[in-house]
């Protein structure tokens, strides 16, 4: 098939590379010449394990191309995917301006014949109907199209695996023909198929991210109980997770959720609920607990740090990505700086992004040992693998005081005590 993807962020670029690798001809439309040039030269712009190699392979095979032009790629395509961003507005609602702009461009460029216009962007209920209305109003006579919703569920850091081996493929449309086209496109990919209507597909995405955010906030709520009572949150959640009805996945106590999806999607579902007159108190509590998780760590650092020079390991919102959007580390660092703390930080891939966008003063260093050298304490904010089996005796010798604040529970409290550390983790005494 010939496919056009509008947008080259995590969703658009990964989707493009995977479908090109299956033998499809894929065009990707961006909005700045500088990024288009970088992508066409084999630079994926974002960090994602395995993505650079897959991009370069399909560029060499001439199965993927990046352009600013809408008309030619869309006029030749069987399927057009919309993968542009939908960031939150101040009131929490999703900003659909990019989606609306793209819908107008698609309408002007559609060919005669049948084209599926499928939205992968996370959008509120009714958005795909708006896309359909815009295209109907602005398309040329004789063109035939159908709108579909095909939400993505990839996780940054494992995006290629999640695209190739998903739990499910959601295809929502009012058109049987569009459903058939998308079913055929996804034949090389595993996962259960859920074939439904537009409204259900739109809601599945929000509901999925919101329940995962709820599990994280629930885990942090239990950690609050453990710190008050002497319980061990990891043991408690292991016990809970052995029940097959709940499982341990995403029952992760720590610094709360971050990234580009969970924060904005919880806010958007809150806004949708408010507009529909639905009681959203559960989602409000999820947001509040997520904030408390970060505040609790700040309180520990302020109360128990022997000095105000803090080493920080990890800046991205999760490991194996350079994405710093809504990263708990940056929220905590910002407030510590306001309290007069000095920060010396290391992250394997995210430091350049922080340098570009973070307003506070951070001293960036080349490795984790340089970060802890002569620092009063260490704060672990992201659970990168290289931190998990580090030489802790060396860390202890480089710190001014053997104090570690672990926001991700990557070490065992008994081991840390035996090594002579004062060790403050989450939900464990």
Binding residues for substrate: 153-156, 205, 250-254, 258, 318
Rounded Cα distance between 371 and 168, Å, is: 42
Collapsed DSSP state (helix, strand, coil) of residue 72: helix
Residues at the binding site for NAD(+) are 35, 86, 122, 156, 264, 325
Rounded Cα distance between 40 and 44, Å, is: 9
- H or E stretch at 414: helix 413-418
Q: Are the beta carbons of 105 and 138 closer than 8 angstroms?
A: no
Rounded Cα distance between 148 and 380, Å, is: 43
Q: Are the beta carbons of 134 and 108 closer than 8 angstroms?
A: no
Rounded Cα distance between 90 and 322, Å, is: 25
Instruction: Find, among 338, 331, 297, 300, the residue nearest to 315 by Cα.
Output: 331
User: 344: which residues sit within 8 A by CB, 6+ positions away?
Assistant: 309, 310, 311, 312, 362, 363, 365, 370, 371, 375
Name the catalytic one among 17, 119, 150, 261.
261
Q: β-strands 422-424, 2-6: how paired?
A: unpaired
User: 140: which residues sit within 8 A by CB, 6+ positions away?
Assistant: 110, 112
Task: Write the CA distances from 394 to 69, 104, 368, integer angstroms.
Answer: 55, 59, 11
Q: Which token pair is 64?
A: 């993927």
Rounded Cα distance between 177 and 118, Å, is: 13
Rounded Cα distance between 213 and 201, Å, is: 19
Residues at the binding site are 35, 86, 122, 153-156, 205, 250-254, 258, 264, 318, 325
Is 226 considered catalytic here? no
C-alpha atoms less than 13 angstroms from C-alpha of 82 in its C-beta half-sphere: 28
What is the secondary structure of 179-222 as a DSSP string? HHHHHHHTTTS-SEEEEE-HHHHHHHHHHHHHHHHHHHHHHHHH
Residues carrying an active site annotation: 261
């Amino acid at each position: 098939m010939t496919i056009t993807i509008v947008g080259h962020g995590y969703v658009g670029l990964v989707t493009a590379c995977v479908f090109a690798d299956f033998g499809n001809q894929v065009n990707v439309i961006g909005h700045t010449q500088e990024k288009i040039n970088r992508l066409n030269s084999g630079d994926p712009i974002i960090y994602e394990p395995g993505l650079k190699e897959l991009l370069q392979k399909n560029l060499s095979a001439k199965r993927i191309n990046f352009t600013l032009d809408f008309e030619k790629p869309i006029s030749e395509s069987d399927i057009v995917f919309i993968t542009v961003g939908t960031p939150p507005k101040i009131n929490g609602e999703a900003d659909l301006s990019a989606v609306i702009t793209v819908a107008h461009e698609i309408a002007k460029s559609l060919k005669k014949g049948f084209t599926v216009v499928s939205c992968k962007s996370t959008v509120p209920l009714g958005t795909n109907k708006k896309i359909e209305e815009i295209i109907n109003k602005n398309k040329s006579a004789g063109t035939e199209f159908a709108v579909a919703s095909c939400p993505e569920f990839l996780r940054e850091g494992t995006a290629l695996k999640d695209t190739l081996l998903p739990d499910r493929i959601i295809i929502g449309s009012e058109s049987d023909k569009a459903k058939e086209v998308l079913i055929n496109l996804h034949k090389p990919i595993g996962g259960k198929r859920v074939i439904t209507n537009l409204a259900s597909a739109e809601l599945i995405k929000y509901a999925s991210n919101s329940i995962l955010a709820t599990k994280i906030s629930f885990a942090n709520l239990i950690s609050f109980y453990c710190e008050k009572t002497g319980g061990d949150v990891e043991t408690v959640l292991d016990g809970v997770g052995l029940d097959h009805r709940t499982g341990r996945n995403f029952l992760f106590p720590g610094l709360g959720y971050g990234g580009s999806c969970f924060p904005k999607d919880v806010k958007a579902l809150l806004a949708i609920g408010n507009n529909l007159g639905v009681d959203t108190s559960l989602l409000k509590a999820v947001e509040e607990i997520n904030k408390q998780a970060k505040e609790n760590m700040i309180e520990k650092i302020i109360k128990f740090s022997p000095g105000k020079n803090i080493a920080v390991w990890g800046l991205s919102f999760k490991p194996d990505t350079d994405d710093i959007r809504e990263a708990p580390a940056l929220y905590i660092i910002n407030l510590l700086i306001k309290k007069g703390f000095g920060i010396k930080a290391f992250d394997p891939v995210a430091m350049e992004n922080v340098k570009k966008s973070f307003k506070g003063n951070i001293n960036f260093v080349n490795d984790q040992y340089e970060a802890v050298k002569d620092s009063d304490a260490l704060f672990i904010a992201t659970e990168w693998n290289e931190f998990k089996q580090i030489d802790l005796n060396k860390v202890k010798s480089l710190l001014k005081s053997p104090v570690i604040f672990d926001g991700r529970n990557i070490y065992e409290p008994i081991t840390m005590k035996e090594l002579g550390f004062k060790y403050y983790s989450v939900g464990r005494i």
